Amino acid sequence: MQEYWELYMKNLEGSPASIQFNAGISMEIEELGYTYPTIAFVKAKLKEPKENGLLSEHEEPEILFMEDKLEASMIKFRIGKYVGRVISDGYVTFLYYVQFTYNWADFIEFALNEHQSYEVTNGHSEDGEWNYYKKLLYPTAREWQIIQNHKVCDNLREQEDNLHFARAIEHKIFMQSVDKQEALEATLLADGFKVKKEIENEEGVKGLSFYRLDKPFYHDIDAITLGLIDIAEAHDALYDGWETSVVKS
């Protein structure tokens, strides 16, 4: 099982939620479902959550210690794999997929013996299809785009980029059918984009490269790219990301 973790924010039942999950296992779900068919959870009520229900900096070290202790216990009892964490509405929930549950009580006792001051619930149920991973932890296409946006923004900041400075931002869209290319181009032009050239990916799928002067600051680029995902979907196409140059002025 590969270890490749991502952290992002989403709306969960009307409340902001911080989601951390192991993205590295997404290609192995079918195989893992046979070996680890049971979803298990440990849910702790935060003592000092922020007003929005998320984890405060003051309490973070203790919650991270709890997370590490749970992981150590999972390894000690060899019952499953840690796949993600959800923090929302004043609670933190740790999620696992397990092979068996006959020693679950021993796992809990060992893991939480130093956290008696927390109000904790736990449990497990069958989930051979890994629906909790797919539908709760795994990002939607829009959430994935925001994750990638912020990685690019972080990289630009590391290069001392002024993210508030507008510059040409180039985007790509690939089309399932070229029949809608003309309508797609017209929509992009109406939104102020300029089509740079026609492109083709390694699989031979045709697309468009286009650009517009915009600011690549976090919430600005999120709004732009989410709008382009909508435009792409309306024309049976797929948005494929953006790139820009570093501007330090």
- What is the tens place of the pLDDT at every residue in 102-114? 999 999 999 999 9
The C-alpha atoms of residue 97 and residue 113 are separated, in whole angstroms, by: 22
The answer, yes or no, to whether residue 1 has pLDDT greater than 70, is no
CA distances from 216 to 10, 84, 170, 190, 243 (A): 21, 30, 11, 21, 9
Q: Which residue has the higher pLDDT, 3 or 104?
A: 104
pLDDT digits (tens, 9 = 90+) for 45-81: 999 999 999 999 999 999 999 999 999 999 999 999 9
- Above 70 in pLDDT, residue 181? yes
The model's pTM is: 0.86
Kindly tell me if the per-residue pLDDT of 194 is higher than 70. Answer: yes
Q: Could you tell me the sign of the dihedral formed by the alpha carbons of 23, 29, 35, 41, in that order?
A: positive
Asked if residue 2 has pLDDT above 90, the reply is no
Q: Is the pLDDT of residue 97 over 90?
A: yes
- SS3 sequence of the chain: CCCCEEEEEEEECCEEEEEEEEHHHHHHHHHHHHHCCEEEEEEEECCCCCCCCCCCCCCHHHHHHHHHHHHHHHHHHCCEEEEEEEEECCEEEEEEEECCCCCHHHHHHHHHCCCCCCCEEEEEEECCCCHHHHHHHCCCHHHHHHHHHHHHHHHHHHCCCCCCCCEEEEEEEEECCHHHHHHHHHHHHHCCCEEEEEEECCCCCEEEEEEEEECCCHHHHHHHHHHHHHHHHHCCEEEEEEEECCCCC
Residue 178 has pLDDT above 90, yes or no: no
Residue tagged 């390694």 (tokens): 202
Are 123 and 41 a contacting pair, CB within 8 Å?
A: yes
Q: What is the mean pLDDT of the chain?
A: 95
Mean pLDDT over residues 152-164, rounded? 96
pLDDT > 90 fraction of the chain, expressed in percent and rounded: 91
Residues 131-149: pLDDT tens digits? 999 999 999 999 999 999 9
Q: Work out the pLDDT band at 83, boundaries 50, 70, 90.
A: very high
Is the model more confident about 231 or about 202?
231
We find that the CATH architecture of domain 5-137 is: 2-Layer Sandwich (3.30)
Q: What topology is assigned to 141-244 in CATH?
A: Alpha-Beta Plaits (3.30.70)
Which residue intervals of the chain bear CATH 3.30.70.970?
141-244
Task: Give me the pLDDT at residue 31, please.
Answer: 86
CA distances for 210 relative to 4, 39, 165, 234, angstroms:
32, 44, 19, 17
List pLDDT tens digits, range 21-50: 999 998 888 888 889 999 999 999 999 999
**Phi and psi, residue 51, nearest 5°:** -60, -30
Nearest of 208, 200, 201, 204 to residue 228 by alpha carbon: 208
